[in-house]
Amino acid sequence: MLARLARYQPVRGGLHKLALAYRQQQAMSAASPSHDIAEVLSIDARPALVHGGTRLNLMVPAVSQRHVFGGIETALQVFDGLRPYFDQVRIIVTDEAVPEPRSDAYYGTWPIVPMASDAPSCNHIVAAGARWRQTLAVHAQDYFMATAWWTAHNALALLNWQQAQEPEASSRRMLYLIQDYEPGFYPWSSRYLLAQATYEQPRRTIALMNSQWLADYLQAQGYEFPVNKVLQPRLHPALAAVRERCETFAKERILLVYGRPGTERNAFSLILASLRIWARHYPQASQWRILSAGEEFAPIDIGSCCTLHSVGKLSIDAYADLLCRTAVGFSLMVSPHPSYPPLEMAAFGARVVVNRFANKDLSGVSPLLVSATPPNPEGFAAALLTLTHAFDNCETTCIPAKVSEMLWSDGFLQSSGPGFDWVADVAAELLGNAHAIPATV
């Protein structure tokens, strides 16, 4: 019917106008009319009416529980470690209009206010995901901590505004938690250049890099930060507590995948191709439960009477229970960031197939982590075949007899806190003090 009507010029013109109006509305909902890259829509500042002492501002894409994966969780842990050194703190949520934080998180009961509102005198969250034509209150004692590249882009712009308004802020720097080489998230493009540009103001940056692998990779790309620290990845405290109660692990025929179809660097398509080859060539494949943790998706038939079932994003308790029972893991990360899931699986005694990337090779951390070569479906499938066959044949080398005998060469399994021994130095650098003293002391 519509096809016949569209042959008539007046109707065709009306349909064109409706389509154009719809496209304009969609563009307006994501960004300003003159801006095509929604992530870097400006966070415009206005002078704050009240100065409440030093305030640390965490700029993070999201705090809703459904969006808090490893990267955001680490940012929130670092921010928590720095909180005592400031009179107040504020979380600026850049990508969510209506944040829904977990109620039992340390920030779970903080008031959530729109950008246009006056800031309360207590710690709070600002919802900046729908910020078009709104401004953010900023004063002379605001300090900014950036996370993802687009938050760093806006943090630097806020520093520019602050330094123009407040002479005392002229030498202030941004704290930048760098958790991956983020230009690699995109093909060579506008976003590639914008992400890269956030590394190119080193004298305005205090760099906090997540892992020595990433720090070395950034240096190899030509990025030098005069003031920098390296964050040592550590097992989540709740997982560490479960692990400390275990002497051995009762493993089952569970092959656990870290599956994130919406995140290219986790190579979900390559994981599926590898699983299909493994299932086709392993007669006992149908005896294994093949599960995926991470993002939720519908069951996927991988052939040979085998199905990949998603368990989605699990609670810490449910995840710990699954890790205790998992015999074999499969987790890919196409970047210099180590990725926490394969380390977590191995920490609970699973043998895990991973990939190498540039200078990163997880197999040097523990013999439980197996770097497959070549990094293609056949190479990964061959590694999976070796590990599942070893488990089915009860080879004594496939599972450590005791947790205490597990071989590990870095600090990931240390349970004495998150390993933020640099926190006082970072606070001192950010505040411009020779020595930082917690504000609560």
Range 78-91 average pLDDT:
95
The pLDDT tens digits for 352-369 are: 999 999 999 999 999 999
Three-class SS state of 32: coil
pLDDT at res. 159: 96
Domains of the chain: which residue ranges? 40-232+420-431, 237-413
Q: What is the DSSP string of 64-111?
A: BGGG--HHHHHHHHHHHHHGGGSSEEEEEESS-SS--B-TTSTTTTS-
297/310 Cα distance (integer angstroms): 6
Amino acid symbol at 244: E
pLDDT at res. 440: 53
Asked whether 358 and 338 are in contact (CB, 8 A), the reply is no
Q: Dihedral of the CA atoms 406, 412, 418, 424 (nearest 10)?
A: 130
Quote the tokens at residue 272: 């599926």
Strand boundaries in 200-287, DSSP class E = 205-210, 228-231, 252-259
Q: Is 364 exposed, middle or buried (0-12, 13-18, 19+ CB in 10 A)?
A: exposed
pLDDT at res. 31: 41
User: Which whole-number Å values give the CA distances from 204 to 142, 200, 226, 315, in the listed order?
Assistant: 15, 9, 10, 38
Please name the CATH architecture into which domain 237-413 falls: 3-Layer(aba) Sandwich (3.40)
Beta strands at 306-312 and 300-303: parallel, antiparallel or unpaired? antiparallel
Asked whether 120 and 111 are in contact (CB, 8 A), the reply is yes
User: For residue 332, which of 386, 261, 393 has the smallest C-alpha distance?
Assistant: 261
Residues comprising the chain, all counted: 441
Residue 6: pLDDT band (50, 70, 90) is very low
The pLDDT tens digits for 308-325 are: 999 998 989 999 999 999
The pLDDT tens digits for 20-37 are: 443 334 433 444 444 478
| Domain over 40-232+420-431 is classified CATH 3.40.50.1820 | no
Amino acid symbol at 29: S
112/119 Cα distance (integer angstroms): 10
- CB count within 10 Å of CB 191 equals 18
315 backbone dihedrals φ, ψ, rounded to 5°: -65, 160
pLDDT at res. 34: 47
Q: Is 30 exposed, middle or buried (0-12, 13-18, 19+ CB in 10 A)?
A: middle
Whether the pLDDT of residue 202 is over 50: the answer is yes
pLDDT at res. 352: 97
Asked whether 125 and 96 are in contact (CB, 8 A), the reply is no
Asked whether 65 and 93 are in contact (CB, 8 A), the reply is no
154/144 Cα distance (integer angstroms): 10
- Measured at the CA of 241, the angle between CA 240 and CA 245, to 5 degrees, comes to 110
User: Which whole-number Å values give the CA distances from 310 to 262, 279, 291, 296, 307, in the listed order?
Assistant: 14, 17, 6, 6, 10
Same fold: 40-232+420-431 with 237-413: yes
The pLDDT tens digits for 224-262 are: 999 999 998 889 888 999 998 888 888 999 999 999 999
pLDDT at res. 232: 87
pLDDT at res. 313: 87
Least confident of 7-21, 239-253, 330-344: 7-21
Instruction: Name residue 89's beta-bridge partners.
Output: 56
pLDDT at res. 17: 42
286 backbone dihedrals φ, ψ, rounded to 5°: -70, -15
60/179 Cα distance (integer angstroms): 13
166/164 Cα distance (integer angstroms): 6
318/1 Cα distance (integer angstroms): 53
- CB count within 10 Å of CB 163 equals 15
Alpha helices in 266-348 (DSSP H): 268-281, 316-325, 340-347
Range 201-206 average pLDDT:
96
Whether the pLDDT of residue 279 is over 80: the answer is yes
Whether the pLDDT of residue 402 is over 80: the answer is no
Contacts of residue 10, defined as CB under 8 A and 6 or more positions apart, other chains included, come to none
Asked whether 423 and 437 are in contact (CB, 8 A), the reply is no
DSSP classification of residue 440? T
Give me the chain's average pLDDT, please: 87
Contacts of residue 121, defined as CB under 8 A and 6 or more positions apart, other chains included, come to 50, 52, 88
